[in-house]
Amino acid sequence: MTATSARRVTVCASAKGGQGCTTIAAVLAVLAAQNNQPTLLLDTRGDAAPTLGVSDPAPAGTFAESMANAVEPCRHLRVATIAGDQIDSDATSELERLTAAGHRVIVDTGTDHDVLHRFDPLRPQRLLVTRPCYLALRRAIGVPFVPDHVVLISDKATLPDRTRREPRPRSASHQRALRPGDRPSDRRRTARRSTPALPRQRDRPSPDLSNQPSRTRVDAHGFETAGTAGVT
């Protein structure tokens, strides 16, 4: 096998389920196909075709039948679902012939590391796909192979940043009264200015007493004084 054909085979594996191994394999296959490179995606888990939006290939009993039943989700890309026991010497010989002809081969083995070792005669590039959680990293340390590269999938882009607190929305009147950067003392003065002032005591109109009936009152010294009803 030539070095060029060896670099054209990539095997994606993971230490536990749910790490995104099938997604990475599908993305690599689509990127290679978009570069006008004939690409074969071998799926040993049965999830690659639905991931790419196409129906599952028809079941097959041999590697040759699996290749014949391969589906094409896009130009230059074929997806074949194979079982682990179908990877024998005839299968590796056929894959070697494809890579020598310029094809790119992406293999999704998932957590089946026994199937991964069946591709050792092709000297593939091995990718270990994992997430930055304790259980996944704990299992990734004990995988029975040495990866060439580690693909670390982080959920930081999809999860909200809980360390940042978004400012609470303010009312329209409050936004008009306050400006960004005002000090608390400025805000208090602005609030006082925006509050309508009440009329002062001397500004209030005096009551009209001309029509009130008059009456006589006796003050504390015994003198009679004229008063007006309703006024004390």
Instruction: Identify the CATH number of the domain in which residue 147 sits.
Output: 3.40.50.300
Which amino acid, one-letter code, is at 149? H
Number of domains in the chain: 1
- The pTM (predicted TM-score) of the whole model is 0.63
Q: What are the tens digits of pLDDT across the range 70-95? A: 999 999 999 999 988 889 999 999 99
Residue 108 counted as domain residue = yes
Predicted confidence (pLDDT) per residue in 170-188, tens digit: 555 555 555 555 555 555 5
With cut-offs at 50, 70 and 90, classify the pLDDT of residue 153: confident
Is 120 domain-assigned?
yes
Look at residue 204 and tell me if it is in a domain. Answer: no
In a domain, 171, yes or no: no
Task: Tell me the mean pLDDT in the region 223-229.
Answer: 54
In a domain, 206, yes or no: no
In a domain, 14, yes or no: yes
Q: Is residue 218 part of a domain?
A: no
Structural domain boundaries, residue 119: 3-152
Q: Is residue 28 part of a domain?
A: yes
pLDDT tens string 96-116: 999 999 999 999 998 888 888
The mean per-residue pLDDT over the stretch 42-49 comes to 90
Q: Which residues of 113-137 are buried (b: 16+ CB within 10 A; e: fewer)?
A: eebbebbeebebbbbbbbbeeeebe
Q: Does the pLDDT value for residue 134 go beyond 90? A: no
Q: What is the pLDDT of residue 38?
A: 95
Amino acid at 118: R
Give dist(CA 172, CA 65) in Å, integer: 69
